[in-house]
Amino acid sequence: MSTLILGLLTSLIVSFIATPYVKKLAESIGATDTPDQRKVHKRIMPRLGGLAIYLGYFVAFFIFVPFTTMKEMLGIFIGGTIVMATGMLDDKYQLSPKWKLMGQLLAAAVVVIPFGLKIGVVNLPYEGSIDFSSGWLLWLGVPITIFWIVGVTNAVNLIDGLDGLSAGVSAIATATMAIVALVMSGSGAAAHYDTIAIYCFVLLGAILGFLYFNFHPARIFMGDTGSLFLGFNLAALSIMGFKEALFVSFIIPIVVLGVPLWDTFFAIVRRIVNKKPISSPDKGHLHHCLLNMGLSHRATVLTIYMISIFFGTMAIVLTKTTKWTTIIVMVLLLFATHMATEIVGLVGRRHRPLINTYRKLKVKNADQRRSH
């Protein structure tokens, strides 16, 4: 436990001390974010803050993470460095989506192919299993893993729209993964899960050290340097912790990353419904919807924090439930998520099938009562 706390404090202190210097660096090289009609902030803000997160993580990683005994951890570090550098270039030079995607694919390919981080064995609910670690399925496991890493990386990037939002949600997801790893270390493979827990604490400290300067009103943005780096790490850690799991347990990382995946999925649905390109930006994300409902900037961020904590709590609970309890909980969670989507108008005010059906039934019942 002392290693976990020391790792967290080391990365937190380094990140905290580094952030003001990174702010000055961003201003001096012109790595700034200019307001426009799609953005919420009203003044030019320095970005590149993810570099401070990376510096805190970098120092603590080499002191506390036993990467020499687990090659996947070194792969995550190298891949994270690649995607962080991609984000730095974008914060300074505004890279095209094609080049950003290439940097993400390179980072994912590095951690998957030479360092072997990929989906392993998935045990099915009744009998048998799907083994992605051998035979022809080995080659299917590689693209699926790369797709997951790139998808989650971009999902975290997409929610980076308010002061402290992406950093806070990432911190909650990282803390959840750390707790899940500690819980699972007691049920076997202790060394494996202890290493994951140490890594999570190191990453969490680096995020918290930066979040002090990033929470509303922010003094610096993390930029793509931070959001891509954190998204990559969360994606890789989710596979690291659950690459060999029961079928129902395999959904735990999806629940942990519930907020960014939820927002991204319905952003895609929204753009398809409105016949717009999937990659086109808009102001229909979860934080935009909550702001439109009248919540303040800070209240919106805190509300999404609470939703993230709810998802994280559910993920921790799912590690100790039976198969059928897990399935029931997931069905209820999906229903609640869909209802929340309709209430806040995440797809659009006109696209609320469940609410509209309920209203029609309510009107129909009222008409029937009047007729009698």
- Which residues are part of a known binding site? 157, 224
Query: How many H-runs (helices) and E-runs (strands) does the chain carry?
Result: 14, 5
Contact 201, 178 (CB under 8 A): yes
Distance CA 111, CA 125 (A): 29
**Parallel/antiparallel/unpaired status of strands 129-131 and 121-123:** antiparallel
Q: Please check whether residue 107 is in contact with residue 86, taking contact to mean a CB–CB distance below 8 angstroms.
A: yes
Kind of pairing between the strands at 245-246 and 121-123: parallel
The residue type found at 40 is: V
What residue numbers does the annotated binding site for Mg(2+) cover? 157, 224
Burial 245-269 (b: 16+ CB within 10 A, else e): bbbbbebbbbbbbbbbbbbbebbeb
Do the strands 32-33 and 45-46 form a parallel or antiparallel pair, or are they unpaired?
Answer: antiparallel
Element holding 32 (H helix, E strand): strand 32-33
